[in-house]
Structure 1
Amino acid sequence: MIPIRPAARAAAVALAVVTSLTACSSTGPAAPKNSPGKPGGSYSVALTEPDHLLPGRTTSSYSLQVLQGLFDPPAALDPKDGSVKPLAAVSWSSDDNIVWTVKFRSGTTFHNGEKVTAASFADAWNAAAYGPNAWDANYYFAQIEGYDALNPSEEGAEPTTRTLSGLKVLDETTLQVTLKAPFGQFPMLLSFPAFAPLSKAATANPDASDTAPIGNGPYQLDGAWERNQKIRLKKFSGYRGSRKPMADHVEFKIYTSRETAFTELQAGNVDVLTTVPAANSPQAKRLFGERFSIRPSGTMDYLGLPVKDPRFADPRLRKAISMAIDRKGITQAIYNGVYKPATSLVGDMIPGHRPDACGRTCAYDPAAAKQLLEAAGGFDGSLELYFSNADTTYEQWMTSVANQLKDNLGIQDVKFRKMAPADLSSLLNDGKNKGPFRQNWVIDYPSIQNYLDGLYYPGNRSGWSDKEFDALVAKGNALQGAEAISAYQQAEDIALRELPYIPLWNWQDQSAWSDRIGNVVIDPYAAGLHLDRVTVND
């Protein structure tokens, strides 16, 4: 996940494929068998080290998994069908889809006892939208009136205000939100963690709250965040929201690789692994049985290209790289055939997905790739490939890509730039990379638009922009149903023609858990594992 623009109404209301996980399936989760269970106890979750723990400051899925327990944003997505429902809010309404009135629950507090009010939400959104803060989720607020003033486009210009003109606190529990244009999907956007409230302490000192967050959710921090080791949560006794937690404690155990985490799961040292390595699929199926699940996923991997670098400016060169990559061979060798070679920019579970949108550009054709490279003038210098150390398969597939580029395109000087996820994210966001990079996208909600705006937002990591593309996305945002999807598909065609991001493969999510726990619910959105629902059996 990276900053995105909001989605069109119709494109995002479509059904999502996820749910309660109770049985092994190669095509999706089986019918729920979980019993409600009893409250109490503690369990552990395997996790990669987060970058931040302040809503608005992060879009990392590792961070969002922890925030899912610590904060209640205004809305939530139903894990069964992707529909939006109230959470910290009790209602929202609009007569024109421009001016929205959001009413919040009364009588709720932050973990420090401070009352949660409409102003708590306004303060959080203003902080995230304020350009100089440079928070990762900044562009999630671009739909709100006044965003442009907080993020002036002129080079060197500074905002003349620190607050969004489109936010007006009407009373202690009511916030009026004025958007720049009609947008019926606004309630779904409210489910993203960046829209959670901030306490006065967090607003005054966001750096301190980044490592010791003060939330309004069912769990609160239990002790200090032990970097690269663990994050402990405990049930918040003062919680008055709708997600009553079952377990008393949750411990996130930090691992540097999924393989290590899977070994720990087998040994009984951790209870939940939401991302079982694809190569371990047969073993996981055999060992965990009904406590192992393979589910359709909206997660995609891409190879991003820095198009402002003259060496990568020609779309023919970018297409040559794409056609030199054997997606099927890599997914078979490294992901045990679980992942699917990409033929589109979007996951195949998304309404409006076209199974061959990419055409020949995503087909393995070394001879054609070589011809395209020559037509583009070849490639000079060292080719640096950037990826994180969060998973050993990242280096494995990057090695395969490097070898294929050497063999098929004759690019012999290839160097790896492997680093921690947080360091890589910062480097890419700052545009300091000197070559292609692994780009992952985890859907926030089931919409083509979520991918298009998520990958190609202004100032995106590839540096690519196109006015026609932007106009088509905006057109889709203003339409409904099939017309909206058609506009998004036309925008996708432009992105595939220019290819700043090369689609590689569509994930299939695999999870496994110990027999100590039950009622495991995982969805493909920002919520991930629903921490509050898990029950402990002993």
Structure 2
Amino acid sequence: MRVRRLAAWTALPLAVTLGLAACGSGGDGGSGESDPNAAVRIEIAEPQHLVPTNTNETSGSQVLAALFSPLVDYDEAHKPYEVAAESITSEDNTTWTIKLKDGYTFHNGEDVTADSYIDAWNYGAYAPNGQNSSYFFEKIAGYDDLQGESPKAETLSGLKKVDDQTFAVTLSQPYSEFKAMLGYTAFYPLPEAAFSAPGELAEGFEQAPIGQGPFKMKGTWQHDAKVEVERYDAFPGERPKVAGVEFRIYQQLTAAYADVLSDNLDVIKTIPTENLSTAETDLGDRFLQSPASSLHFLAFPTFQEEFSNPDVRKAISMAIDRDEITTSIFKDSQQPARSFVSPAVAGYRENTVGAPGEFDPAKAKALYQAAGGPSKITLSYNGDGGHKDWIDATCNQLKANLGVDCVGNAEPKFADLLTKVKAKQPVGLFRMGWIMDYPSMENYLGPLYSTNGSSNYYGYSNPDFDRLLAEGASAPSEEEAIKKYQEAEDLLAEDLPVVPLRFGQNNFGHSTKVQNVEMDLFDRIDLIKIEAVK
């Protein structure tokens, strides 16, 4: 689901060429004099978590991007470059040496050391800790010994401290894209103060996380209201141009949009669907667009008998007119999706879903009846994400084209929906959005569809898929890896555990009080570039 990761809001579409520039003046919204002593206000949904190894949705990740500095970030070609790391090297793609830059300290004054990463990663990988992003440590040697109710070990054998600023990571098998993974939230460090005992998170840490990034917490997480951060003056990297950020939590995007129009909110990360047709008029050059990496889909609870037959799933897919919904609801501001990976990454192919991705109501109904599909379908979604219109339109299509009863079920918050689907509570089909964690085809496949994937909430499991994914990960070159990943994607088309619907693009806006507002492929506002205007 940076992000990255699972997306709470309905995001908007990705230009296939990734050449789309921001509208207007590139986000300037004017040429006012910058005010470095002012704070800015940015809209988010209620995060599910604020512990790095437990945060796999976009709102929490936006907050953590303020509090932490990653080992690597990505250039315009989506290649990783060192940020908090001085160097990341390997001669065999199996053993990697990570040397840290000098000068980084946590917000409580502790030095950032190799132990800061080793302790955080061990905590995230240890199964009894129940971290959402534990899966991302799977490639490190010793991970299997940390799994189960009574693990054999408490620490990863593949993590070894070399000195205070250097540690070595040994993988269980070669993985050429390991450096690219290290930009993901799960790989942030934690201070000693995060733990009350070795491997035990301190009570209250999540309410006021201590990072080593450009901002530090100001007070504590005010649930369903806000998270505030302020500039960390000891940060050794590029300094922010604002004194702080208020991440303001909204239950409804329409309320956030009204606040932007009245200058009571500075940035809305997603324009509500009902305001798309007027946003350019309302905001002028403060209505912005940029490429995204998001994929939006409906997921099947394949562990439930009524959705266990792939033919039922294929029939539902064929009964949905993606193009019509893209036009009528999203005003052609999204791109219909018929593939399982985004055009943002190497290896993307058009229409990998095949025939089930094509709208064919007659064939859909016949297949559905022959497969014994249920007479009632529920589409669950988070009510705080601007999804009602397209969910209702999808339900209307399923009613008309399959002859079923279909109802939309709004969970109050995205965190609520995630909690229910993780617990496999009966919610029917459920909407999901994925934003890449790191630029790789594998990232659209492994977390979502592998048997132990961190965001595989639908119970999908195919040993051949897992095998191909592993073979791709250990391939000696990107080209060879992509061939294996594409074979794995072909299996998804046969099994169809989810229905790809749309590729997204960032459609966002800002008030007259800020300038230089940019949003990246990972659904994050750039907190270093944004400026407040005097």
By how many angstroms is 1:413 displaced? 5.9
By how many angstroms is 1:421 displaced? 1.0
CA spacing shift, 1:237–1:110, aligned 2, 3 Å: same
* CA distance in 2: counterparts of 1:415 and 1:532, whole angstroms: 40
* CA distance in 1: counterparts of 2:33 and 2:70, whole angstroms: 24
CA spacing shift, 1:323–1:492, aligned 2, 3 Å: same
* CA distance in 2: counterparts of 1:375 and 1:492, whole angstroms: 26
Gaps of 5+ in 1: 6-14
* CA distance in 1: counterparts of 2:473 and 2:22, whole angstroms: 37
Give the structure 1 partner of residue 355 of structure 2: 360
* CA distance in 1: counterparts of 2:111 and 2:493, whole angstroms: 48
What secondary structure is seen at the aligned counterpart in 1 of 2:445? Answer: helix
Native 8 Å contact 1:4 1:140 kept in 2:
no
Deviations 1:240-269 (A, max 9, x none): 2x2312111111111112222111111101
Structure 1 letter corresponding to 2:500: P
Superposition TM-score, scaled by structure 1 size: 0.90
Native 8 Å contact 1:386 1:418 kept in 2:
yes
* CA distance in 1: counterparts of 2:311 and 2:16, whole angstroms: 35
Give the structure 2 partner of residue 130 of structure 1: 126
Match of 1:408 among 378, 401, 406: 401
Give the structure 1 partner of residue 385 of structure 2: 391
* CA distance in 2: counterparts of 1:416 and 1:233, whole angstroms: 34
Deviations 1:464-489 (A, max 9, x none): 11122122222222332433222222
Q: Which moved further from structure 2: 486-495 or 80-89?
A: 80-89
Native 8 Å contact 1:71 1:196 kept in 2:
yes
* CA distance in 1: counterparts of 2:203 and 2:70, whole angstroms: 20
Give the structure 1 partner of residue 12 of structure 2: none
CA spacing shift, 1:33–1:344, aligned 2, 3 Å: farther
Question: Is the counterpart of residue 464 in structure 1 residue 457 in structure 2?
Answer: no
By how many angstroms is 1:342 displaced? 1.1
By how many angstroms is 1:379 displaced? 2.1
* CA distance in 2: counterparts of 1:136 and 1:30, whole angstroms: 34
CA spacing shift, 1:20–1:311, aligned 2, 3 Å: closer
Match of 1:268 among 263, 274, 284: 263
Match of 1:159 among 146, 151, 161: 151
Q: How do 1:11-26 residues align onto structure 2 when only pairs under 5 Å count?
A: 23-24=23-24
Give the structure 2 partner of residue 10 of structure 1: none
Structure 1 letter corresponding to 2:395: A
* CA distance in 2: counterparts of 1:82 and 1:249, whole angstroms: 28
CA spacing shift, 1:278–1:399, aligned 2, 3 Å: closer
Give the structure 1 partner of residue 510 of structure 2: 513
Give the structure 1 partner of residue 188 of structure 2: 196
Give the structure 2 partner of residue 493 of structure 1: 490
What secondary structure is seen at the aligned counterpart in 2 of 1:139? Answer: helix
Match of 2:99 among 99, 103, 108: 103
Question: Is the counterpart of residue 331 in structure 1 residue 326 in structure 2?
Answer: yes
Give the structure 2 partner of residue 254 of structure 1: 249
Give the structure 2 partner of residue 145 of structure 1: 141
Native 8 Å contact 1:34 1:519 kept in 2:
no
Native 8 Å contact 2:291 2:520 kept in 1:
no
CA spacing shift, 1:179–1:36, aligned 2, 3 Å: farther
Question: Is the counterpart of residue 169 in structure 1 residue 166 in structure 2?
Answer: no
CA spacing shift, 1:31–1:254, aligned 2, 3 Å: closer
By how many angstroms is 1:118 displaced? 0.6
By how many angstroms is 1:180 displaced? 0.7
CA spacing shift, 1:264–1:181, aligned 2, 3 Å: same
Native 8 Å contact 1:41 1:248 kept in 2:
yes
Give the structure 1 partner of residue 309 of structure 2: 314
* CA distance in 1: counterparts of 2:126 and 2:359, whole angstroms: 44
By how many angstroms is 1:21 displaced? 6.9
Native 8 Å contact 1:3 1:136 kept in 2:
no
* CA distance in 1: counterparts of 2:16 and 2:317, whole angstroms: 29
Q: Which moved further from structure 2: 48-57 or 528-537?
A: 528-537
Q: Which moved further from structure 2: 466-475 or 118-127?
A: 466-475
By how many angstroms is 1:184 displaced? 1.7
By how many angstroms is 1:433 displaced? 2.9
* CA distance in 1: counterparts of 2:292 and 2:274, whole angstroms: 17
By how many angstroms is 1:533 displaced? 2.0
What secondary structure is seen at the aligned counterpart in 2 of 1:233? Answer: strand
Q: After the TM superposition, which parts of structure 1 deviate over 6 Å for at least 4 consecutive aligned residues? A: 2-5, 15-21, 29-36
What secondary structure is seen at the aligned counterpart in 2 of 1:370? Answer: helix
By how many angstroms is 1:431 displaced? 1.7
Give the structure 2 partner of residue 448 of structure 1: 441
Q: Which moved further from structure 2: 338-347 or 405-414?
A: 405-414
CA spacing shift, 1:168–1:437, aligned 2, 3 Å: same
Match of 1:419 among 412, 415, 428: 412
* CA distance in 2: counterparts of 1:308 and 1:224, whole angstroms: 39
By how many angstroms is 1:289 displaced? 3.0
CA spacing shift, 1:174–1:64, aligned 2, 3 Å: same
CA spacing shift, 1:416–1:281, aligned 2, 3 Å: closer
What secondary structure is seen at the aligned counterpart in 2 of 1:269? Answer: coil
* CA distance in 1: counterparts of 2:137 and 2:437, whole angstroms: 15
Native 8 Å contact 1:130 1:162 kept in 2:
yes
CA spacing shift, 1:18–1:511, aligned 2, 3 Å: farther
Native 8 Å contact 2:85 2:100 kept in 1:
yes
What secondary structure is seen at the aligned counterpart in 2 of 1:289? Answer: helix
By how many angstroms is 1:83 displaced? 2.1
By how many angstroms is 1:521 displaced? 2.6
Question: Is the counterpart of residue 183 in structure 1 residue 175 in structure 2?
Answer: yes
Native 8 Å contact 1:268 1:514 kept in 2:
yes
* CA distance in 2: counterparts of 1:431 and 1:244, whole angstroms: 43
Q: CA-atom RMSD, angstroms?
A: 2.6
CA spacing shift, 1:36–1:523, aligned 2, 3 Å: farther
Give the structure 2 partner of residue 432 of structure 1: 425
How many correspondences in the alignment?
517
* CA distance in 2: counterparts of 1:30 and 1:250, whole angstroms: 18
Native 8 Å contact 2:139 2:172 kept in 1:
yes
Give the structure 1 partner of residue 90 of structure 2: 94
What secondary structure is seen at the aligned counterpart in 2 of 1:82? Answer: coil
What secondary structure is seen at the aligned counterpart in 1 of 2:62? Answer: helix
* CA distance in 1: counterparts of 2:159 and 2:466, whole angstroms: 26
Give the structure 2 partner of residue 297 of structure 1: 292
Give the structure 1 partner of residue 501 of structure 2: 504
By how many angstroms is 1:502 displaced? 0.7
* CA distance in 2: counterparts of 1:444 and 1:359, whole angstroms: 26
By how many angstroms is 1:187 displaced? 1.2
